[in-house]
């Protein structure tokens, strides 16, 4: 029985290393997908918002264009700050390597 302990330990270690390797690959794929979608979405969103802002400014009478442009710029800035706060909140909810950490916790507390 005692001679099997090192072999069992190595098997457990190998299992944990495979799990962390798999989760690392998943995190890389998730990160790349999020970045690609974020960049495309940001480019399209900014282009659309600029177009909308120009259209609104163009449709407003000449005397009020500076005021309307200022309001539109303020709305864009406030919205961007709110979205940054939301993105930070979303990134805090996700725990990388959650399964690996849970398994390691189980291993530690079983001993």
d(CA 6, CA 4): 6
CA 87 centroid distance within chain = 7
* CA-to-CA separations, 41 to 36, 47, 72, 105, in angstroms, rounded: 8, 10, 20, 38
| CA-wise closest residue to 60 among 70, 50, 68 | 68
Q: What are the pLDDT tens digits along the chain (111 aa)? A: 677 778 888 888 888 888 888 988 998 999 999 999 999 998 998 999 899 999 999 999 999 999 999 999 999 899 989 999 998 888 777 777 777 777 777 877 775
For 60, residues 6+ apart whose C-beta sits below 8 A from its C-beta are 68
Contacts (Cβ under 8 Å, ≥6 apart) of 52: none
Q: What is the pLDDT of residues 77-107, one digit of tens each?
A: 999 899 999 988 887 777 777 777 777 778 7
- State the CB neighbour count (10 A cutoff) for residue 56: 14
Query: What does pTM read for this prediction?
Result: 0.52
- CA neighbor of 87 nearest in space, from 41, 54, 56, 44: 41
């Amino acid at each position: 029985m005692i001679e099997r302990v090192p072999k069992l330990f190595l098997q457990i270690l190998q299992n944990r290393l495979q799990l962390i390797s798999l989760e690392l690959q998943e995190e890389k794929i998730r990160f790349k997908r999020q970045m690609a979608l974020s960049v495309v979405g940001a480019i399209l969103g900014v282009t659309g918002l600029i177009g909308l802002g120009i259209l609104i400014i163009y449709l407003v009478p000449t005397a009020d264009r500076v005021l309307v442009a200022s309001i539109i710029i303020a709305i864009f800035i406030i919205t961007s700050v709110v979205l940054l706060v939301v993105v930070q909140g979303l990134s805090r909810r996700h725990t990388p390597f959650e399964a690996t950490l849970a398994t390691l916790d189980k291993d530690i507390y079983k001993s």
